[in-house]
């Protein structure tokens, strides 16, 4: 009963936030991103509510609604995806191919049509069976498509849309949003991270209870999915609803203020900087850290860091890229016929052989020895 109350509170909060985003927030310039966020919360709450209706037998009073949420679950993940897409990729409007996102929903909606048009008496009798054994909700075959395909789709589809969201957040547009609207970027990142943690923990918990601990049953394990759902949505609600900064940014977000031209300037800038650093071999200097390189280039340290991070995961990945590029140039010049691997590492600006090996493997996906053999380079590692 306690977990049911928490679950009900979670559903209520999700509905309230969805209605707030739809009817009260009233974005100043741009609202598509908030509409899809509201849809995500509303659809989740709507589908989750049927868990309580079935578990507590209340569905017996409204048997005609049984299986209504089944196709609707396929709209939840696309709603999250479109929220991220319209927040990060502002100039990516709806197109005809976006209708493909409705295909799973349409397929299962059609599949359940015969069941939806069954008589109320037949539905009531069937729902009574389901209430007595909830496991049948995942096994019944009341649709044209076997229920196993519905269960499989509910596992695969969210993962597919999570991958799409990660691609958007980590794209150049995402980095541009990070440069100019950090609050919204970190909200996007947390939103996708939370979905990832939630789905991963849900799958692990379900898999473990099914295959590793099938005989362990108590109130916590029986309600584990509900617990994870409550934790996820309460954290999401706290970040969003009680964080007025995020709400203000969602309300005042103006995509025209995000200057897409800046990202192209930053890309050109990193190419220019990399060329100077490589030609002058600044990476060989003892002061080849961010502070030292920024002094050589006469750049502000923070500005240089921004430019590098827009194009590379970190300063170290960028500087090591230049070092290994120089290392490969030396290898092709048969550097190892006269010098040791330690001398090569030192010549390229590395402080140790291990650091050099690690950077080389990250950059080339192979060890120096394998690289030498595959490219028929003269000289040996000493």
Residue 20 has pLDDT above 60, yes or no: yes
Locate 332 and state its tokens: 């092709």
pLDDT of the residue at 238: 82
Give the contacts of 89 (CB within 8 A, at least 6 positions apart). Answer: 168, 171, 173
What would the mean pLDDT of 27-46 be, rounded to a whole number? 92
Sign of the four-CA dihedral 38, 155, 145, 117? negative
Q: Is residue 164 part of a domain?
A: yes
Residue 41 has pLDDT above 90, yes or no: yes
Same domain, 158 and 184: yes
Q: Is residue 278 part of a domain?
A: yes
Same domain, 135 and 99: yes
Same domain, 151 and 300: no
Task: Name the band, by pLDDT with cuts 50, 70 and 90, for residue 213.
Answer: very low
pLDDT of the residue at 92: 67
pLDDT of the residue at 268: 63
Same domain, 238 and 289: no
Same domain, 234 and 334: no
Same domain, 111 and 19: yes
Give pLDDT tens digits for 171-208.
Answer: 888 877 877 788 888 899 999 999 999 888 887 776 66
Q: Is residue 366 part of a domain?
A: yes
Same domain, 201 and 308: no
| Domain closes at, from 229, 257, 285 | 257
Q: Are 253 and 33 in contact (CB under 8 A)?
A: yes
Q: Is residue 105 part of a domain?
A: yes
Give pLDDT tens digits for 351-373.
Answer: 888 889 999 988 888 888 888 88
Cα 161 to Cα 168: distance, rounded to the nearest angstrom: 11
Q: Is residue 284 part of a domain?
A: yes
CATH of the domain at 332: 1.10.10.60
Q: Please count the structural domains in the chain.
A: 2
What would the mean pLDDT of 3-12 be, rounded to a whole number? 84
Cα 258 to Cα 235: distance, rounded to the nearest angstrom: 29
Same domain, 214 and 287: no
> Average per-residue pLDDT in the chain?
84
Proportion of the chain above pLDDT 90, given as a percent: 29
Same domain, 73 and 200: yes
pLDDT of the residue at 91: 60
Same domain, 120 and 206: yes
Q: What is the DSSP string of 49-115?
A: HHHHHHHTTGGGG-GGGTTSHHHHGGGHHHHHHHHHHHHH-TT----GGGGGGGHHHHHHHHHHHHH
Give pLDDT tens digits for 133-150.
Answer: 877 777 778 889 988 898
Cα 231 to Cα 13: distance, rounded to the nearest angstrom: 12
| Domain closes at, from 257, 274, 294 | 257
Residue 141's domain comprises 2-257
| Domain closes at, from 225, 257, 289 | 257
State which of 26-30, 99-103, 234-238 shows the largest mean pLDDT: 99-103
Residue 317 has pLDDT above 80, yes or no: yes
pLDDT of the residue at 373: 83
Q: Is residue 124 part of a domain?
A: yes
pLDDT of the residue at 208: 63
Task: Name the band, by pLDDT with cuts 50, 70 and 90, for residue 39.
Answer: very high
Give the contacts of 347 (CB within 8 A, at least 6 positions apart). Answer: 284, 330, 335, 339
Higher pLDDT, 219 or 80: 80
Task: Name the band, by pLDDT with cuts 50, 70 and 90, for residue 243.
Answer: low
pLDDT of the residue at 44: 92
Q: Is residue 379 part of a domain?
A: no
Q: Is residue 65 part of a domain?
A: yes
Residue 259 has pLDDT above 60, yes or no: no
pLDDT of the residue at 187: 92
Same domain, 207 and 289: no
Same domain, 230 and 296: no
CATH of the domain at 181: 1.20.1070
């Amino acid at each position: 009963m306690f977990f049911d109350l928490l679950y009900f509170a979670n559903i209520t909060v999700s509905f309230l936030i969805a209605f707030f985003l739809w009817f009260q927030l009233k974005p100043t310039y741009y609202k598509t991103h908030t509409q899809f966020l509201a849809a995500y919360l509303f659809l989740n709450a709507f589908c989750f509510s049927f868990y309580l209706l079935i578990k507590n037998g209340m569905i017996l009073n409204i048997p005609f609604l049984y299986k209504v949420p089944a196709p609707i679950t396929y709209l939840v993940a696309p709603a999250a995806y479109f929220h991220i897409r319209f927040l990060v990729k502002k100039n990516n409007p709806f197109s005809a191919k976006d209708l493909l996102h409705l295909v799973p929903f349409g397929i299962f909606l059609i599949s359940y049509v015969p069941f939806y048009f069954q008589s109320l008496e037949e539905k009531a009798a069937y729902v009574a069976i389901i209430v007595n054994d909830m496991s049948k909700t995942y096994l019944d075959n009341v649709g044209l498509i076997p229920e196993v395909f519905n269960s499989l789709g509910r596992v695969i589809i969210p993962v597919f849309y999570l991958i799409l969201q990660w691609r958007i957040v980590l794209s150049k547009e995402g980095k541009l949003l990070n440069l100019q609207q950090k609050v919204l970027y970190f909200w996007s990142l947390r939103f996708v991270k939370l979905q990832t943690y939630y789905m991963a923990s849900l799958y692990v918990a379900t898999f473990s209870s099914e295959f590793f601990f099938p005989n362990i049953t108590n109130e916590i394990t029986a309600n584990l999915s509900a617990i994870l759902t409550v934790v996820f949505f309460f954290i999401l609600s706290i970040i969003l609803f009680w964080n007025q900064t995020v709400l203000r940014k969602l309300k005042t977000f103006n995509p025209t203020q995000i200057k897409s031209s800046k990202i192209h300037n930053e890309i050109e800038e990193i190419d220019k900087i990399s060329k100077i650093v490589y030609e002058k071999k600044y990476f060989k200097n003892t002061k080849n850290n961010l502070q030292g390189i920024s002094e050589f280039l006469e750049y502000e340290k923070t500005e240089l860091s921004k430019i590098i991070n827009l194009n590379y995961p970190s300063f170290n990945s960028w500087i090591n890229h230049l070092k290994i590029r120089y290392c490969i140039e030396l290898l092709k010049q048969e550097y190892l016929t006269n010098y040791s691997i330690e001398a090569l590492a030192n010549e390229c600006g590395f402080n140790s052989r291990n650091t050099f090996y690690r950077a080389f493997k990250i950059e080339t996906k192979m060890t120096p020895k394998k690289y030498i053999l595959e490219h028929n380079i003269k000289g040996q590692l000493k």
